[in-house]
Structure 1
Amino acid sequence: MATLPTAPSSSIFEIAYRKLKDSVSSAHADAFQSTPFEEVWAAAEEIEKAHEARGNLRNMRRIAPFLKGLQNYSKVIEVLCNGTPYMPWIWLADQYTSIFDKLLDAYRQIAEVMPQFGRLQTAFSNDPNFQVVLGLVYSDILDFHRRAYKFFARRSFHLFFDSMWKSFEYRFNGILKDFARHRDLVMREVVTIDVVEARELRIKSQQELEQQERKTQDYYLHDSISWLKVPDEQYDDELDRLADMRQEGTCEWVFRNPLFQSWKNDAHSDAILWVKGIPGAGKTILSTHVIRQMKEEGRFTTAYHLCNSYTTGKHLLGELMRGVIVQLLRVNLDLAPYIFENYANKALAPSAARVKGLMEKLVQTIPSIRIIVDGLDEYPLSDQRTILHELLLLSKVPGAQCRILFSNRESENINKRLNGRPTISLRDQDVDLKKDIGLYVHAELDSSRGDFGNDLIDRIERQIVAKADGMFLWVRLIMQSLKECHSPQELVESVNTLPEGLDKAYKRILDDLKSRSSDKSIRILQWIACSFRIMKVHEIKDGVVLQMSGAMLNEHTKLVDSFWEHCKPLIEKGPKNTIDFVHYSAKEYVLHETSGPFLDFSEAHYGLALSCLNYMNSSYCFINSAVSNQALELRVLKGYHGLHHYANEFWFQHLLQYAKAGDPVEDEELDEPLGEIREFWKQEPGIGAGNLKLDDTTSADKIKTQLEALASTPVAQNMGLDILTFQKFLSQESSSHQAPTNLKNDELRYDPTHFSDISQRYQHIVRTLMDCPVNTPPEGTHPQELYTFKQTYLDSAFICRYRECPRYSDGFKTPENRDNHEMIHTKPLRCADPNCEFFARGFTSKTGLLKHNLKYHRSPEEEEPPAFEPRKAPELPPVAPPAPEPAAALPLVPPLPVPPLHHEVPESVPNYGYQEEREKLASPRRRVSRAQKGLKVHNCDLCTKIFTRAEGLRRHKLSHGDPKYPCLWDDCGRSFFRPDLLERHQQQHEIKASPAGKAIDQESN
């Protein structure tokens, strides 16, 4: 007995139709509703005629079974709904032949599994169970249409169609399976239709499809982000930290500003907005609030980049572009297959040219992009120029809706580029800024009202707001001095003598530091101002001690934890136990001539190099067989190796920066530590670099150019050659396909020094101590010592094992956090078919992937052609010579002598009947042109060439202009008329630059 439906079939139709209608725009929904079935047939015929006129006729008959099936289907269900909405995908795909073919083929496959509605209409149209199954078929049809709509509704869909369609094929195959299952249900007799079974099977099928889609999408996203080499968690952490610094109620005025509203909402206004202001005016806090609000609003695809001054050794434009692309990708997950297929899975390096080209494609297809760039003035001048140039070009990409907000101080470069663009100057927002500063001061002094009374605090607040001159930072600096006042008189006197402006505020703080602890204060500020990343408290604590010749860390020389607090409020403690300047302008001031300069750049790097060298020499104990493991654990536990991660990564960079300084100081003190560190080399310095093969042939020359400043010290120069070559070797694109353990093994094997062995030993001891319970510390130590060690080093104990990552010297709290992070670096090369078992497993080399694809997933172009057999000429039947006329009998005579052979052709030869036929076969057939046949041709109006297809003429005309696509490889200089030719040409460069290509060149030579 058939199970009765638990819900009316009309609800199934309504839900399916509503789901589709909600996914399309209102304009399209109205158009679909009013499109009669006859117009669909007419459109198909019209497109077929258009293709015939263009000379690229497609097989439009593939769609006929589908349309006939729908026509019969609509007659069956017209009682329950008004018919199926027909989608004009064909018009959209008409101009793109490959897309058009795939779409027609999809409709053909759907038609093959559609039930035969025509002959079932009379028998079963009134059966309720039968109508439920029809509803499931209806859901299948609309599910395909809804998902197809996402493809064709996207701007510039033709750029991404191939990759996106491949990722959709799994879902499409699932839809076909549902069709086939529901067809089988419909074709049964009515009494056997089990509606509950049909629904359960559909739910199960949908769940399996969604699970597989999520899994495949995760792979695409992971590999794309890994290719871009962006640990994007760092962006969100910094954004949250800065956003939390905002005082509640401040910065709201910007959303009422007409220029901001126009930039945000008006697609016809200028795509650029510049928010400028003096140092300390709160631009960064304003930017972070704008970013957060726009992300929460959700109307736009919002991306951002927060610049900072820790930029040495970075390609800043590439870093910015890659970071923005990752943010765009996380909001538009359907674009991940395109990046995966065209970039990530080809084992190509994310060069500036590739990233720039990808960015241009993304802004063409993603609607309503808003990018906020804060603090560009903190970057070097050359990078400011490059970034401004490229981002301004990006805002002008044809068809793009990309709008960019810059928030920064004025500078010569920035003014030159942005003057004349819509500008919000914070100087002109005096009323709004005073109100915001008043809110901040009121919150800061609220706790003092109980001690000094409301009247005095209200008066102090008004004085501070009036003197602030729009500078939040100035208020933060002077608040420290006000908190040290313990009487009303002290408070009034302190406010009356407040310095005017940031420079005077900084000068007062530095003068106070000189008077109290000059030498130690200078060393602390040197570490913060000239380090290559933000430093942690325990690192600076050790670095300050080691910044003297022959210095060592022990229980007598270790500083107390509060060693830095006398430098407040110029520096402050940040997240994860870090220390940094209160503002970038403070770092600028101590290094600028305005302050003296208070810190000399060359001396600072000299001091940091000396400190790192002293530490590295002290780490020899990790490879000294005479030192027991218990002794090493004790040294690590007592904090004598807290500088290890930083010194191991950057000791040579500080030495190189010191050598590059325009006026280096005397360096006799460096001779001894440089001589000691020579003992860490496995061979003579410089030999190891020659054993490391780099994929990029220009890298070795660039490294040598960097080391020219050390030419007067050959040993240090050769050390640098080994160090920089080894670092480049580990950060190559080929390394990103390896698991962390394999990569670490390569590091130990190829390192020209013992530094990798030392780091591995140190990491092992740290993990042992972290895993040790506090109540059972190592022998000879106290539980409190183990507890202090964990509290100090826990935030960054486990470093990332990929050399190019910033977290290589600034680790994670747990091994699990580290392992999760490293997943963004682990990028196996995957099979192109998501259904293949090797898709998830992947390959570690491009060769392995190519062999797999050649064996199991050959494309039609890669299929081997059939063996060639030469065409045989037709054999003509032998023609008998004409019978001789009878003649009178002649007497026998002796045979005539055979004449000698001559090369001359006789004037006449006997005609045996088949000579003319042979001549016809031997002579080439004359080709009759299309014009002579009366067919359409395409004439070039710039030359005499004629083409049979319009596409051929269009591509030919490109050769009459200047080539627009130059090759970016060094020493090439070629340019091309089409991007596909440029891509093919650059692939040849990449093949030649690869190890395999070099081997081929050597063999050919």
Structure 2
Amino acid sequence: MFLMSNTPGKTLCEFEIALEDFKKNAQLGPDEAEEFRFADLNSLRSTIKRIQTEQEAKRRMRNMKRLEPFLQIMEQYGHAVDVFVNTSEILAFVWGPMRFLLKVASKYADALDRLLEAYQTIWGELPLLSSFQDLTSGRPYTKTILSWIYHDILDFHREAMKYFRGKVWQQVFQAAWRGFSSKIDLVKTKMQRNYNLLKAEASLAQFEEVRRIHRIAVDEFNNQRQAELDRRQNYVTQWLCAPNTQGFQEEIAEARICADAGSWLVRDRKFTNWTDPHFCDNPLLWVTGKPGAGKSVLVSCIVDEIRKSQRLSRGAATQDTSIAFFYCKHKDTSRNSFLAIAKGLLSQLLDQNKHLIQHFYEKSSNCGEISLHTKVLAGELLRVALRCSKRTYILLDGLDECDARERRYIVEFFRNTVEALPTADMDSIRCLFVSQDDREARKGLSNIPSINICPSDTKHDIHSFVRIWKDKIEQKFGNLPGMRYDIAKIVTAKSQGMFLFAKLVMENMYEQTSVENLISELANFPAGLDQVYARIVERILNQTTSTRKSDAQRLLQWLVCAKRPLKWYEFQATNCVDLNGDDYDPKEISQMIWRENPKDICGSLIDHHKDGTVDFVHPTARETREVIPSESHFQITCLTLSYLNLPPADPTADAEMTQQALMAGFFAYLEYAVVCWSLHLQEYSQSPGESKNLEELGEELEVFLGIHYKQPAPDLIVPNSIKEELSIFDRFDFHKELSQAVTWSRKQLGAHGKPLESEHVLDLLKLVQRVRGILESSGESQLTGEQRASLKALYGTNWYKCSRTNCFYFHHGFQNESQRQQHIDRHERPFFCDISDCDFSSLGFSSKDARNNHMLEIHGLDIDGDLEFPEPPRKMQKIKAGSSQHQCDVCLKTFTRGHNLKAHLRSHANEKPFSCTICGVSFGRQYDKTRHEAIHVGEKKFVCFGTLKSGATWGCKLTFARQDKLADHFKSKTGMQCLRPVLMEERQEATGGSSKVDSEGAGATSGSVEDDLAREHVLFLQHSSYIHKPNLPTL
């Protein structure tokens, strides 16, 4: 195999091709490449000797002799390939990367131990090349096989170097290296195959067959590895449950109709300093502006500019730069807290730094949280992610949209994170805060550089924006030559730097129905944002028909009072309820649903987003005087209860009625109604208003409880807060049932969200389950393409949803059943094995202890014992005279005896003073050393053997020194055959004797039985006493 080089007329041999490939993909810096080029075996041995000396001084020897087989093999390898190629640079790029790995890993004992173990695993059992016949005797393909060996060594070093690079490699090493174990196994297999090929003096046909097998194995490995990486990233993405920040960015960017919007900011010295790619002396920057000044648009411009200047594209980062941003939103729980911001930033940084996947996956699968909901863990992950790149830009827009407590936490977290950076990296994290300049903001941001958006800054941008809208208005109404008004100048001057003001005014003018009305608007020009809102609301509510006015009023009420952002199809379904109607007619449902676009109903006052949600154009629009919250909550509560009282929502409704209602779109509002009816009732009960409203609501509640209250119902303990809240209903006969129903509803939204079936007070969740079952089966039924498209328009595309009401995916859902089932499994068994090829990496465990026991006993990994980097200082707190408490300075755990504290401190400092007297391997505990030495002395207490109840025996009688090794044996195909009689006997007892087992364990079983046995085998490995009993039978 030859390749043309960059030098004309020169070709590269197989070794040089492998070396060029390494240089290209290893991402070497100029200094590293130069250092590697001049590396040799002597310099490597000097480095090894220095590391040994340092370890000996610290009494932390790591058995560096494990490197010797590799060094000897490579030394002889150099002599073998010297005939084919100049080996000076070829071998230099073996010694150089190895020296780099050892120097970096030597700073952290556990990392060095893992690296040495990898060298021993791959090369420890390979014979020396001198044991083969003369490799230079002209045998065909010898050169090619030797080049394969070289390529595999470079490939191992290239990938291993990834785990020892970056500022946070210590924090992510444990998880990342576990993911590397499969690569180590592959390199070992390839090495053995190549050695066998050299030894066998293969023919041409054999050589080509091995080459084919080699390619298939590599392709299969890469595909499996990528599939597992994708699975883990999807798992983490679901666990983060982050809002679609990129979607918001694209929407805002599309709203920028001016090509050079925000160009004034590029000329600001503070901003150019903040974006300087080489150095920034103030990595924190605060941009302020009054409401409606176009701050979000400005942030979107900055995001695009940074991406452009750093050659970033969506979802991909350069080697040195990452960028993440977040748009906060008032009263949206998914966008107005530190946790929401952390989720959004982590999701983006994960897309740009794929090496974080393993670390994030282990954190998510070990924490037991179905989704990230603790600030401590979010902060821990975010600190790691922020430092992954040489430079990370963070942009946080709308901090004033968060409440005061969250805002303080957000500012303190990012300020502390940036200010804690070492001097050499002081500008590696750049953070831009964007908010109003109010008292709360000044508390945390007053002493950092700031840029205040002034009217003079945005005047040009607003004028350009207004001129574009002026042209649109003239296209609609025609040229207005006789008009004495210059719309563009008037709006620009009156806006006083407020983009929102200009936008609303121009859109309101465009929505006028005649030139006369347009001129009237200009003649009575609004003086401020409040007047603009008032004009728009007045125009909306002064519709030509009372129906359109009613629709607009209802939509505004929902936008002010909704407990979560609603999709438009959910809004549409609320119109199925006619509070003034007497009868329910299923044929009229589809006729009652809104068919218009929401902007046709409420105009420029609202936005209809790409994800289907509908919201106000700006948080300031929420304070419209036309909506009285207490009255609106009353209306919504009555509507919701009436909806749940209609015949399709009755648990006794027949299948035909349910199907008809489903196809008409009736059930699009069901999930919100089931979750939020009690929340709107709570809002109303705090200010109930007129007594006639209470009577009307009481009637709806009485009917609602009569339909949905279960008999007999459990007797729940009602909190005093709920008793006080519902005291206005004490005079009604149903007040006890109502208290029980509200208590049950709130419990559904609590931390667990899934009480036992016996604890259900209402039948609402059964109703949801029944409707969802019909909708899901519709995807597989014989529906026409038009019918299926209609259902997607009425219910969205995510039909497969979580059953827990407190879960985001209860209303968001998934696109297929497989995704939903994986999500539900995480609710039930949220702790997962970290080893990718283990069955329990997907099955999971119900508790953290069960998972940790599995990791220790099956895989030999002590998860709780994994070290944190860097190593903490080894010191003890001084003990006062007479004190019986000895406290650890690291974790604050206390001990009654000093020697227990010393032993505990070794777990933090990775001290391993107990060495094997035979092979020298070190351990942190005497017990671990004793257990290990049993392997050498031949003490084997664990036996694959036992007696069945029938008197027959089972097992192969192999003996093992350790319990976990016996467990590994049971996991193998041979071990499964050993266990087969046990499984068959247990199955026979469970099925009443329908399966027969003979003395050899051979059972006459069907294919389904074989499948059942395979599943039972997995469960057996976790729970069986045959593995976990310390007193296993011995021969």
Tell me what 1:921 maps to: none
Q: Highest CA radius of gyration, 1 or 2?
A: 1
Q: Report matched runs for 1:157-556 at 5 Å.
A: 157-189=169-201, 196-197=208-209, 199-228=211-240, 230=241, 234-247=244-257, 249-251=259-261, 253=263, 254=265, 257-264=268-275, 265-292=277-304, 294=306, 296-297=312-313, 298-299=317-318, 300-311=321-332, 316-347=337-368, 350=372, 351-399=374-422, 401-427=428-454, 430-431=456-457, 433-435=459-461, 437-439=463-465, 441-442=467-468, 445-446=471-472, 448-449=474-475, 452-453=478-479, 459-484=486-511, 491=518, 494-513=521-540, 521-537=552-568, 539-540=570-571, 543=574, 555=588
Tell me what 1:728 maps to: 750
Instruction: Tell me how far apart the structure 1 counterparts of residues 411 and 207 of structure 2 sit (CA, whole Å).
Output: 63
Instruction: Tell me how far apart the structure 2 counterparts of residues 684 and 980 of structure 1 sit (CA, whole Å).
Output: 55
What are the Cα deviations for residues 286-332 of structure 1, in whole angstroms up to 9, with x where unaligned?
32343355453534222222222243699832232233223322322
What are the Cα deviations for residues 486-524 of structure 1, in whole angstroms up to 9, with x where unaligned?
777765554454323312211222344565567664433
Are residues 1:752 and 2:761 paired?
yes
Instruction: Tell me how far apart the structure 2 counterparts of residues 834 and 157 of structure 1 sit (CA, whole Å).
Output: 21
Deviation for aligned residue 1:168: 0.1
Instruction: Tell me how far apart the structure 1 counterparts of residues 678 and 123 of structure 2 sit (CA, whole Å).
Output: 68
Out of 78, 81, 96, the position equivalent to 1:77 is 81
CA distance change for structure 1 residues 360 and 541 in 2, over 3 Å: closer, same or farther?
closer
What are the Cα deviations for residues 940-991 of structure 1, in whole angstroms up to 9, with x where unaligned?
xxxxxxxxxx999723269899967689xxxxxxx99999889xxxxxxxxx
Out of 709, 712, 715, the position equivalent to 1:681 is 709
- AA aligned opposite 2:838: C
Tell me what 1:31 maps to: 35
Out of 815, 832, 837, the position equivalent to 1:830 is 832
Residue 805 of structure 2 aligns to a residue in which SS?
A: coil
Deviation for aligned residue 1:171: 0.5
* Contact residue 604 and residue 617 of structure 2 kept, 8 A: yes
Tell me what 2:1000 maps to: none
Tell me what 2:1022 maps to: none
Residue 247 of structure 1 aligns to a residue in which SS?
A: coil
Residue 273 of structure 1 aligns to a residue in which SS?
A: strand
Quote the sequence identity (%): 22
Instruction: Tell me how far apart the structure 1 counterparts of residues 451 and 481 of structure 2 sit (CA, whole Å).
Output: 36
Are residues 1:954 and 2:881 paired?
no
Deviation for aligned residue 1:174: 0.5
Tell me what 2:984 maps to: none
CA distance change for structure 1 residues 285 and 323 in 2, over 3 Å: closer, same or farther?
same
Tell me what 2:741 maps to: 719
Instruction: Tell me how far apart the structure 2 counterparts of residues 952 and 383 of structure 1 sit (CA, whole Å).
Output: 32
Tell me what 1:585 maps to: 620
* Contact residue 547 and residue 607 of structure 1 kept, 8 A: no
Deviates more, 1:749-758 or 1:543-552: 543-552
* Contact residue 828 and residue 846 of structure 2 kept, 8 A: no
Residue 623 of structure 1 aligns to a residue in which SS?
A: coil
* Contact residue 9 and residue 135 of structure 1 kept, 8 A: no
Deviation for aligned residue 1:235: 3.6
Residue 373 of structure 1 aligns to a residue in which SS?
A: strand
Instruction: Tell me how far apart the structure 2 counterparts of residues 160 and 816 of structure 1 sit (CA, whole Å).
Output: 30
- AA aligned opposite 1:677: F
Instruction: Tell me how far apart the structure 2 counterparts of residues 361 and 579 of structure 1 sit (CA, whole Å).
Output: 36
Deviation for aligned residue 1:793: 3.9
Instruction: Tell me how far apart the structure 1 counterparts of residues 305 and 502 of structure 2 sit (CA, whole Å).
Output: 26
CA distance change for structure 1 residues 110 and 316 in 2, over 3 Å: closer, same or farther?
same
Instruction: Tell me how far apart the structure 2 counterparts of residues 614 and 607 of structure 1 sit (CA, whole Å).
Output: 11
Instruction: Tell me how far apart the structure 2 counterparts of residues 644 and 27 of structure 1 sit (CA, whole Å).
Output: 64
Instruction: Tell me how far apart the structure 2 counterparts of residues 174 and 210 of structure 1 sit (CA, whole Å).
Output: 10
- AA aligned opposite 2:558: W
Tell me what 2:117 maps to: 105
Tell me what 2:917 maps to: none
* Contact residue 462 and residue 497 of structure 2 kept, 8 A: no
What is the TM-score normalised by the length of structure 2? Answer: 0.72
* Contact residue 272 and residue 421 of structure 1 kept, 8 A: yes
- AA aligned opposite 1:643: Y
- AA aligned opposite 2:249: L
- AA aligned opposite 1:467: K
Deviation for aligned residue 1:667: 3.1
Deviates more, 1:530-539 or 1:368-377: 530-539
What are the Cα deviations for residues 650-679 of structure 1, in whole angstroms up to 9, with x where unaligned?
111111233345989863432222223323
* Contact residue 543 and residue 608 of structure 1 kept, 8 A: no
Deviation for aligned residue 1:390: 2.4
Instruction: Tell me how far apart the structure 1 counterparts of residues 476 and 650 of structure 2 sit (CA, whole Å).
Output: 57
- AA aligned opposite 1:143: D
Residue 687 of structure 1 aligns to a residue in which SS?
A: coil
Instruction: Tell me how far apart the structure 1 counterparts of residues 511 and 131 of structure 2 sit (CA, whole Å).
Output: 93
Deviates more, 1:376-385 or 1:143-152: 376-385
Deviation for aligned residue 1:529: 0.9
Instruction: Tell me how far apart the structure 1 counterparts of residues 722 and 351 of structure 2 sit (CA, whole Å).
Output: 37
CA distance change for structure 1 residues 776 and 314 in 2, over 3 Å: closer, same or farther?
closer
CA distance change for structure 1 residues 833 and 797 in 2, over 3 Å: closer, same or farther?
closer
Deviation for aligned residue 1:6: 10
Instruction: Tell me how far apart the structure 2 counterparts of residues 10 and 121 of structure 1 sit (CA, whole Å).
Output: 27
Are residues 1:148 and 2:160 paired?
yes
Are residues 1:49 and 2:71 paired?
no
Residue 162 of structure 1 aligns to a residue in which SS?
A: helix
Instruction: Tell me how far apart the structure 1 counterparts of residues 501 and 81 of structure 2 sit (CA, whole Å).
Output: 74
Instruction: Tell me how far apart the structure 2 counterparts of residues 383 and 842 of structure 1 sit (CA, whole Å).
Output: 34
Instruction: Tell me how far apart the structure 2 counterparts of residues 327 and 979 of structure 1 sit (CA, whole Å).
Output: 38
Instruction: Tell me how far apart the structure 1 counterparts of residues 511 and 541 of structure 2 sit (CA, whole Å).
Output: 19
What are the Cα deviations for residues 846-901 of structure 1, in whole angstroms up to 9, with x where unaligned?
576567556633448999xxxxxxxxxxxxxxxxxxxxxxxxxxxxxxxxxxxxxx
Out of 624, 627, 639, the position equivalent to 1:611 is 639
Deviates more, 1:53-62 or 1:298-307: 298-307
Deviation for aligned residue 1:239: 3.4
Tell me what 2:101 maps to: 89
Tell me what 2:671 maps to: 645
Unmatched tracts of structure 1, length 5 or more: 591-596, 691-702, 733-745, 778-782, 864-949, 968-974, 983-1005
CA distance change for structure 1 residues 443 and 31 in 2, over 3 Å: closer, same or farther?
farther
Deviates more, 1:329-338 or 1:257-266: 257-266
* Contact residue 622 and residue 632 of structure 1 kept, 8 A: no
Instruction: Tell me how far apart the structure 2 counterparts of residues 787 and 212 of structure 1 sit (CA, whole Å).
Output: 36
Instruction: Tell me how far apart the structure 2 counterparts of residues 525 and 845 of structure 1 sit (CA, whole Å).
Output: 46
Tell me what 2:896 maps to: none
Deviation for aligned residue 1:455: 7.2
What are the Cα deviations for residues 217-262 of structure 1, in whole angstroms up to 9, with x where unaligned?
234323333444x155x44433333333222514352456443333
Instruction: Tell me how far apart the structure 2 counterparts of residues 707 and 314 of structure 1 sit (CA, whole Å).
Output: 32
CA distance change for structure 1 residues 442 and 663 in 2, over 3 Å: closer, same or farther?
same
CA distance change for structure 1 residues 301 and 194 in 2, over 3 Å: closer, same or farther?
same
Instruction: Tell me how far apart the structure 1 counterparts of residues 218 and 204 of structure 2 sit (CA, whole Å).
Output: 24
CA distance change for structure 1 residues 833 and 123 in 2, over 3 Å: closer, same or farther?
closer
Deviation for aligned residue 1:272: 1.9
- AA aligned opposite 1:758: L
- AA aligned opposite 2:345: V
Tell me what 1:21 maps to: 23
Residue 405 of structure 1 aligns to a residue in which SS?
A: strand
Deviation for aligned residue 1:615: 1.6
- AA aligned opposite 1:261: T
* Contact residue 722 and residue 743 of structure 2 kept, 8 A: no
CA distance change for structure 1 residues 36 and 793 in 2, over 3 Å: closer, same or farther?
closer
CA distance change for structure 1 residues 383 and 838 in 2, over 3 Å: closer, same or farther?
closer
Out of 715, 722, 725, the position equivalent to 1:709 is 725
Residue 386 of structure 1 aligns to a residue in which SS?
A: helix
